[in-house]
Amino acid sequence: MIDQTIQQLINEAIHQAIIDPMDEIYVRNQILSLLNLDDFQVQDTSKLPKDVPVDPDLIIPELLEKIVQYAVKNGIIEDYLDAKEIFSAKIMNCFLASPSVVNQRFYEKYENSPVAATDYFYQLSKNSNYIQMNRIKKNIVFKAPTEYGNLDITINLSKPEKDPKQIAKERSAPKKGGYPTCLLCIENEGYAGRIGHPARSNHRMIRMNIRGEDWYLQYSPYVYYNEHCILLSKTHRNMFISRETFGRLLDFVERFPHYFLGSNADLPIVGGSILSHDHYQGGHYEFPMAVAEEEYAFSVQGFSNVTCSILKWPMSVIRLRSSKKDDIIELSDRILEKWKTYSDPVAEIIAFTGSTPHNTITPIARIRDGQYEMDLVLRNNRTSEEHPLGIFHPHKEVHHIKKENIGLIEVMGLAVLPARLKNELAEVGKFLCNQPNKIADYHLPWAEQLKQKYDGEINEQNVEKIVKVEVGNKFLQVLMDAGVFKRDTKGKAAFQRFIETLNK
pLDDT digits (tens, 9 = 90+) for 235-265: 999 999 999 999 999 999 999 999 999 999 9
pLDDT of residue 382: 97
Mean pLDDT of 140-156: 97
Query: Is residue 425 scored above 90 in pLDDT?
Result: yes
How do the residues of the chain divide into helix, strand and coil, expressed in percent and rounded to 5?
40, 20, 40
**What three-state secondary structure class fits 476?**
helix
Cα separation, 110 vs 106, in Å, equals 6
Query: Is residue 43 scored above 80 in pLDDT?
Result: no
Q: How confident is the model at residue 49 (pLDDT cuts 50, 70, 90)?
A: low
Q: Which residues contact 457 (CB under 8 A, 6 or more apart)?
A: none
pLDDT of residue 470: 98
**What three-state secondary structure class fits 91?**
helix
Question: 488-491, long-range: CB within 8 Å, 24+ apart, which pairs?
Answer: 490/346, 490/347, 491/347
Mean pLDDT of 381-410: 95
Cα separation, 431 vs 497, in Å, equals 47
Side by side, the strands of the sheet bearing 359-368 are 206-210, 213-219, 229-233, 279-283, 260-262, 359-368, 371-380, 317-322, 307-311, 294-298
Query: Is residue 22 scored above 90 in pLDDT?
Result: yes
Q: Which residues contact 165 (CB under 8 A, 6 or more apart)?
A: 78, 79, 80
Most distant CA atoms of the chain, gap in Å: 79
pLDDT of residue 16: 93
Q: How confident is the model at residue 272 (pLDDT cuts 50, 70, 90)?
A: confident
Mean pLDDT of 260-288: 94
**Residue 135 contacts residue 158 (beta carbons within 8 Å):** yes
Q: Identify how many contiguous H helices and E strands the chain contains and give both numbers.
A: 15, 15
Q: At what angle do helices 444-453 and 463-482 cross, to 10 degrees?
A: 120
Query: Is residue 273 scored above 80 in pLDDT?
Result: no
Cα separation, 452 vs 275, in Å, equals 43
User: Could you please report the per-residue DSSP string of 5-46?
Assistant: HHHHHHHHHHHTTSS-GGGHHHHHHHHHHHTT--------GG
pLDDT of residue 361: 98
Q: How confident is the model at residue 346 (pLDDT cuts 50, 70, 90)?
A: very high
Distance set, CA 390 to CA 150, 208, 305, 413, 450 (Å): 26, 37, 37, 20, 27
Q: Measured in whole angstroms, how far is the alpha carbon of residue 137 from the centre of its chain? A: 15
Summarised one tens digit per residue, pLDDT across range 58-67 is 999 999 999 9
254 forms beta bridges with: none
Summarised one tens digit per residue, pLDDT across range 432-448 is 999 999 999 999 999 99
Question: From the CB of residue 321, how many other CB atoms can be counted at a distance below 10 Å?
Answer: 18
Summarised one tens digit per residue, pLDDT across range 201-233 is 999 999 999 999 999 999 999 899 999 999 999
Query: Is residue 196 scored above 80 in pLDDT?
Result: yes
Mean pLDDT of 97-120: 98
Query: Is residue 47 scored above 60 in pLDDT?
Result: no
Query: Is residue 299 scored above 70 in pLDDT?
Result: yes
Cα separation, 351 vs 334, in Å, equals 16
Strand 260-262, strand 359-368: pairing: antiparallel
* Pairwise pLDDT comparison (44 vs 238), residue with the higher score: 238
Mean pLDDT of 349-358: 97
Query: Is residue 101 scored above 60 in pLDDT?
Result: yes
Cα separation, 410 vs 414, in Å, equals 5
Query: Is residue 120 scored above 80 in pLDDT?
Result: yes
pLDDT of residue 25: 96
pLDDT of residue 52: 58
Rounded to the nearest integer, the mean pLDDT of the chain is: 95
Query: Is residue 50 scored above 60 in pLDDT?
Result: no
* Pairwise pLDDT comparison (321 vs 51), residue with the higher score: 321
Of the listed ranges 41-55, 270-284, 307-321, the one predicted with least confidence: 41-55
What's the whole-model pTM score?
Answer: 0.95
Query: Is residue 373 scored above 70 in pLDDT?
Result: yes
Q: Which amino acid is at 489?
A: T
Nearest CA-CA partner of 6 in 47, 50, 54, 48: 48
% of residues, the chain, pLDDT over 90? 90
pLDDT of residue 45: 61
Question: 93-102, long-range: CB within 8 Å, 24+ apart, which pairs?
Answer: 93/128, 93/190, 93/201, 93/202, 94/27, 94/30, 94/31, 94/34, 95/13, 95/18, 95/19, 95/27, 95/128, 96/18, 96/124, 96/128, 96/202, 96/204, 99/189, 99/190, 99/204, 99/205, 102/204, 102/206
Cα separation, 336 vs 360, in Å, equals 7
Query: Is residue 48 scored above 80 in pLDDT?
Result: no
Helices (H), 322-443: 325-340, 408-411, 421-432
Distance set, CA 463 to CA 61, 79, 432, 455 (Å): 35, 40, 7, 12
